[in-house]
Amino acid sequence: MELLSGADMLIRSLQDEGIEYIYGYPGGAALHIYDALFRQDKVKHILVRHEQAAVHMADGYARATGLPGTVLVTSGPGATNTITGIATAFMDSIPMVVLCGQVASTLIGEDAFQETDMIGVSRPVVKHNLSVRHPEEIPGIIRKAYYIAATGRPGPVVVDIPKDMTTPNERYEYVFPKKVKLRSYNPAIRGHAGQIKKAVDMLMAAKRPIIYAGGGVILGKATNQLTELVRTLGYPITNTLMGIGCYPASDKQHLGWLGMHGTYESNMAMHHSDLILCVGARFDDRVTNATEKFCPGARIVHIDIDPASISKTIDADVPIVGPVDAVLNEMITLVRESKEKPDADAIAAWWKQIEEWRAFHGMRYETSPDVIKPQEVVEALWKLTNGEAFVTSDVGQHQMFAAQYYKFDKPNRWINSGGLGTMGFGLPAAMGVKLTHPDDEVLCITGEGSIQMNIQELSTCKQYNLPVKIINLNNQALGMVKQWQDMNYESRHAESYMGSLPDFIKLAEAYGHKGVRIDKKEDLEPKLKEVLAMKDDLVFVDIYVDRFEHVYPMQVARGSMKDMWLSKTERV
């Protein structure tokens, strides 16, 4: 029998859970735990400069690897600083466990120093949260936390650990449970066979079908199944911002992504379709535009692991609750065995129409002889990295340009805060990726507004040698806000300018990194090449881009999917 203190049990449980990295920041209530960390070397701790960044780092790691991330912080301000990161992970269903110190159980409720009700504060933004009430519970709670975080529809789980649960000289028997079983939590393991059959019949009968895939395909590790089904059917596919990479963007059946800033052809094809096969997406408002005008002629098959995502905003004709990989596997078999075959003439006519749409817009943008367009930067990066980089992003115009012009053929490489839209996500997420993918190119495509929300992490990058490339699409404004003000507020730019930008090059240098400024169009490619050749350096690339550029296409507010602005003057 092995006797361990609560703190040692915690670290030992993390080891037994197979956790390699945790991201965190110490403080009083977590010090017993930090001491236990110090006395071992299996679990490595990364010290960030702000707890929010620890969560985004864990998040970036989780998105790139498909494994749950782990965060460790102290009580009170340490815990509350994680909330934005947790909410970011929650909205995008990212598996993660956040371990928070808490004041001693004897002090809870007394407004003790650094006491915050983290269970209460985090409740609306977690999949679940758990408190430790006795040190012996720790291994079981840790096991349960990871199990809940990583299964079903994944999400963040918070564990609140009062300081007296980790007291060094109080030892208990350590037993790491082999299995977790929860009578009240049983995610579906396969879809309903009858419903799947019905869906396949509808797919075979469709004349204008489209597959609409989301982040669930990536989270559910079903990109191979999806690709196989789509290729077997020969139907067009679009995906959400979160689904980027679930199907190769360079494939001709792929129409690009859809929604507010999606491609013309995706939005047109959705609107005119007669059958939508939705796989692991959730018909959110950035996709559907006005729900009452959504795809009037379409019947809808919706596959999701989360029943609550089905018929939430748009009614499904055929709901299928189950893990996407298992459901798609069954569909592939049925499609192959089906006596009915797709109506070749109808599908050919549908493709002809889609190709016309594709030719009509084709993600064109106006170039200029002397001003660098943000789109050009992303296209250049895509070329120079052979489309193989991990790209994290922040929130704003640069995010949309990155998603539009970097063509991802693989999953887990486009890493952005889609659901919450958290500025400040990009750099720490890139760090989380780089740490575990040291030989891969990791780009953080950001804006001068967003990067300043977690700029302190340049210091962490120095400490742990994380040579990410920061691509700052510097338009000297909170560009996306400004775009909305241009479009909806007669260009009254209320607080969307940042009049006092730092010298980012000097800033990078102050943290011990390299900085490169690009402000001439002819320098763009050569300098980017140089930057990418600096394998061992973090390079802050400050690129002065067109200050007046807007992101298009852009759906017209409260319209249908097909109502879009295609440029500042063209509306369809």
Ligand X SMILES: Cc1ncc(C[n+]2csc(CCOP(=O)(O)OP(=O)(O)O)c2C)c(N)n1
Binding site for ligand X (CB under 6 A): 394-398, 421-424, 447-450, 473, 475, 477-481
114 is catalytic: yes
CB 14 within 8 A of CB 143: no
Interface residue with Mg ion among 191, 259, 374, 479 (CB under 5 A) is 479
Residue 189 touching other proteins (CB under 8 A): no
Q: Is position 51 annotated as part of the catalytic site? A: yes
Pick one of Mg ion, other proteins, ligand X, none as the site partner of residue 182 (Cβ within 5 to 8 A by kind). other proteins
Place of tokens 């990791």: 442
Answer for which of 56, 127, 373, 527 binds other proteins (CB under 8 A) is 127
Query: Residue 423 binds which entry of other proteins, ligand X, Mg ion, none, with Cβ cut-offs from 5 to 8 Å by kind?
Result: ligand X
User: Which is nearest to 375 in space by CA: 499, 225, 524, 515?
Assistant: 524
State the nearest-atom distance from the C-beta of 83 to other proteins, in Å.
15
Whether 178 is catalytic: no
Q: Provide the minimum distance between the beta carbon of 446 and Mg ion in the complex, in angstroms, as a whole number.
A: 9
Cα–Cα distance between 399 and 166 in angstroms, integer? 42
Q: To the nearest whole angstrom, how small is the minimum distance from the Cβ of residue 448 to ligand X? A: 5
Give the shortest CB-147-to-other proteins separation in angstroms. 11
* Least distance CB 425 / ligand X (angstroms): 9
- Say if CB 86 and CB 122 are below 8 A apart: yes
- 119 near other proteins, judged by CB under 8 A: yes
Please, which residue, 116 or 131, has the CB nearer to other proteins? 131
Q: How far apart are CA 181 and CA 134, in angstroms?
A: 20
**Contact pick of 184, 250, 386, 500 for other proteins (by CB under 8 A):** 184
The one among 181, 183, 339, 492 contacting other proteins by CB under 8 A = 183
How many whole angstroms separate alpha carbon 238 and alpha carbon 256?
Answer: 6
How far lies 274's CA from each of 105, 230, 350, 478, 569, in Å? 59, 17, 11, 39, 31
Q: Find the binder of other proteins among 18, 109, 120, 362 (CB under 8 A).
A: 120
Looking at 52, 475, 483, 555, which residue binds Mg ion (CB under 5 A)? 475
CB 322 within 8 A of CB 190: yes
394 binds, among ligand X, Mg ion, other proteins, none (CB under 5 to 8 A by kind): ligand X
Given the residues 17, 51, 265, 376, select the one marked as catalytic. Answer: 51
Determine which residue in the list 308, 510, 534, 557 makes contact with other proteins, applying CB under 8 A.
308
Burial 459-479 (b: 16+ CB within 10 A, else e): ebbeeeebbbbbbbbbbbbbb
Choose the contact partner of 101 out of other proteins, Mg ion, ligand X, none; CB within 5 to 8 A by kind.
none
Tokens of 121: 């504060």
46 φ/ψ angles, rounded to the nearest 5 degrees: -110, 120
**Shortest distance in whole angstroms from residue 393 CB to ligand X:** 10
d(CA 250, CA 296): 29
Query: Please, are residues 545 and 374 in contact by the beta-carbon 8 Å criterion?
Result: yes
Question: In this chain, which of 123, 364, 547, 558 binds other proteins, going by CB under 8 A?
Answer: 123
Q: How far is the CB of 476 from Mg ion (least distance, A)?
A: 7
Which member of 163, 434, 469, 562 is catalytic? 163
Q: Work out how close the CB of 310 gets to other proteins at its nearest, in angstroms, rounded to a whole number.
A: 8
Minimum CB distance to Mg ion, residue 363 (Å):
21
Q: Which of 462, 460, 470 is nearest to 513 (CA)?
A: 462
Residue pointed to by tokens 């005008």: 293
* Interface of this chain with Mg ion, residues 393 to 452, rule: CB under 5 A: 447-449
122-130, 134-142, 402-410, 504-512 -> range binding other proteins (CB under 8 A): 122-130
Cβ-based nearer residue to ligand X, 262 or 479: 479
- Please state the three-class secondary structure of 118-168 as a single string: HHHHHHHHCCEEEECCCHHHHHHHHHHHHHHHHCCCCCEEEEEEEHHHCCC
Q: Which of 2, 38, 40, 113 is catalytic?
A: 113
CB environment 230-246: b (16+ within 10 A), e (fewer): beebebbbbbbbbbbbb
3-class SS at 540? strand
Q: Which stretch binds other proteins (CB under 8 A): 121-129, 135-143, 428-436, 470-478?
A: 121-129
The token pair that represents 354 in the structure block: 């889609």
Q: Which one is catalytic: 15, 114, 353, 456?
A: 114
Q: ∠338-198-189 over CA atoms, to 5°?
A: 100
CA angle 359, 360, 365 (to 5 degrees): 100
Name which of 140 and 502 has its Cβ closer to Mg ion: 502
Stretch near other proteins under the rule CB under 8 A, chosen from 182-190, 246-254, 359-367, 513-521: 182-190
535 catalytic per annotation? no
* 170, two tokens: 């109080």
- Distance, in Å, from the CA atom of 452 to the CA atom of 381, rounded to the nearest integer, reads 22
Residue 479 vs 515, nearer CB to ligand X: 479
CA distances from 5 to 2, 68, 108, 134, 330 (A): 10, 25, 21, 11, 48
Residues lying near other proteins in the complex (CB under 8 A) = 119-120, 123-124, 127-129, 131, 148, 182-185, 306-308, 311-312, 315
The catalytic residues are: 51, 113-114, 163, 480
Residues contributing to the site for Mg ion (CB under 5 A): 447-449, 475, 479
